[in-house]
Chains A and B, each alone.
Chain A
Amino acid sequence: MGELVAFECSTATDVVCKPPTVNELFELPTVFTIGDFEVTRQILYFFLAVLVVWAILYFGLRKASAVPGKFQLIVEELVGFVRDGIARDIIGPEGAKYLPYLLSIFLFILVGNFFEITPFVNYPITSRMAIPAMLAVLTYVIFVFVGFRKNGFHYLTGIVWPKSVPLALRPVVGLIEFFSIFLIRPLTLAVRLFANLVAGHVMLSLLLVTGFTYLLVEPFEFTFNPLWGILWFLLGIAIFLFEMVVAFLQAYIFTLLSAVYIDSSLHPEH
């Protein structure tokens, strides 16, 4: 096994280097420090994502013309997708009020997810729990606030004491509804995004690094052969394409669910 890890570790000992844990894929080194605040690559990527979202919207719609150029067309398509496909379809006519929020999180998550497969970045910022959790907390605050403002205190009583359910079942259904709305909803919203991006990043890293390592191997019989590297690389590229779909789908699902939760606060009867 010595050949496989020869370019990093000493082959003098018969112990093959301990493979790194998953954490090493997600904890990047500090770039510089400001006071006690350690700035890592993730934080720089975070600001880069904000900048990219801003640039997409600014340069896409700066000189909006009736006959859109290519870039303006793409941006308009994205905005229209969120406005018609998510805000208007799910929330209804009132959805326009929530479009700025939905569009912001959609574009931010989309850019953050696409960092996973962007060359030289290769790190999805949404794979650190802090960012999905914060976005989920934002959605949580908005839908709870909207629910209380629209329905007053009936929002809470309607959940824990649902009138449409037979009397004997009301406490049970109310309890389940209470936990599912105030606990499970924000938790799953955050974890869904986080888990998908973690899984994708680990998969890509494993396949591509294994492929790269095998390509450097000196041919030795059948098992240590650079040919295996090509196989791993092909598999990695297949997953690479798959991750593009995942990146878009997860941004879509996060925004869609945010809209559904806001809608369920606006119209709690169905």
Chain B
Amino acid sequence: MLEGDISGPLALIGYGLAAIGPGVGIGILAGNAVQAMARQPEAAGMVRTTMFLGIAFTEALALIGFVLFFIAGG
């Protein structure tokens, strides 16, 4: 059952690769944000806003991969 050629658009693998970097990045970012909030709970609001901003910028690469998936795999 598992024999045979693997088929499907290569763009799928491309998107998977594009998601690695942002995945690691967002993990580090959120982890450090939690640490900052735990150490200084009074700054939690500011840290949270900055965290969302950071996540939004880090996500950009995965989003470009997502678009390329639609363009190349379309």
B53 close to A (CB within 8 Å): yes
> Are A195 and B63 in contact, with the CB atoms below 8 A?
yes
Closest to B66 in A: A195
Q: Which listed residue, A89, A184, A253, A260, touches B60 by the CB 8 Å rule?
A: A184
> Are A256 and B52 in contact, with the CB atoms below 8 A?
yes
Q: Which listed residue, B52, B59, B66, B67, touches A252 by the CB 8 Å rule?
A: B52
Distance between Cα atoms of A187 and B56 in the complex (Å): 12
Distance between Cα atoms of A191 and B53 in the complex (Å): 16
A192 close to B (CB within 8 Å): yes
Q: Which listed residue, B52, B66, B67, touches A253 by the CB 8 Å rule?
A: B52
> Are B52 and A188 in contact, with the CB atoms below 8 A?
no
> Are A188 and B49 in contact, with the CB atoms below 8 A?
no
A257 close to B (CB within 8 Å): yes
Chain A residues near B67 (CB, 8 Å)?
Answer: 187, 191
Chain B residues near A85 (CB, 8 Å)?
Answer: 49
B64 close to A (CB within 8 Å): yes
Interface residues of A, dominant DSSP: helix
Q: How many residues of chain B have a CB within 8 Å of chain A?
A: 10
Residues 41-70 of chain B, each 1 if its beta carbon lies under 8 Å from chain A, else 0 = 000000001001100100110011011000
> Are A188 and B59 in contact, with the CB atoms below 8 A?
yes
Closest to B46 in A: A89
Chain A residues near B59 (CB, 8 Å)?
Answer: 188, 192
Chain B residues near A256 (CB, 8 Å)?
Answer: 49, 52-53, 56
Distance between Cα atoms of A253 and B48 in the complex (Å): 12
Distance between Cα atoms of A132 and B73 in the complex (Å): 22
Closest to B67 in A: A191
Chain A residues near B52 (CB, 8 Å)?
Answer: 249, 252-253, 256
> Are A188 and B53 in contact, with the CB atoms below 8 A?
no
Chain B residues near A253 (CB, 8 Å)?
Answer: 52, 56
Chain A residues near B60 (CB, 8 Å)?
Answer: 184, 188
> Are B49 and A191 in contact, with the CB atoms below 8 A?
no
Question: Which A232-268 residues sit within 8 Å CB-CB of chain B?
Answer: 249, 252-253, 256-257, 260
Distance between Cα atoms of A85 and B45 in the complex (Å): 9
Chain A residues near B53 (CB, 8 Å)?
Answer: 256-257, 260
Chain A residues near B56 (CB, 8 Å)?
Answer: 188, 192, 253, 256-257
> Are B63 and A192 in contact, with the CB atoms below 8 A?
yes
Chain B residues near A191 (CB, 8 Å)?
Answer: 63-64, 66-67
16 new A-B contacts, CB < 8 A, other than A256-B53, A257-B56, are A85-B49, A184-B60, A187-B64, A188-B56, A188-B60, A188-B63, A188-B64, A191-B64, A191-B67, A192-B56, A192-B59, A195-B63, A249-B52, A252-B52, A253-B52, A260-B53
Query: Can you list 5 pairs linking A and B with CB atoms under 8 Å apart?
Result: A89-B49, A188-B59, A188-B60, A191-B67, A256-B49
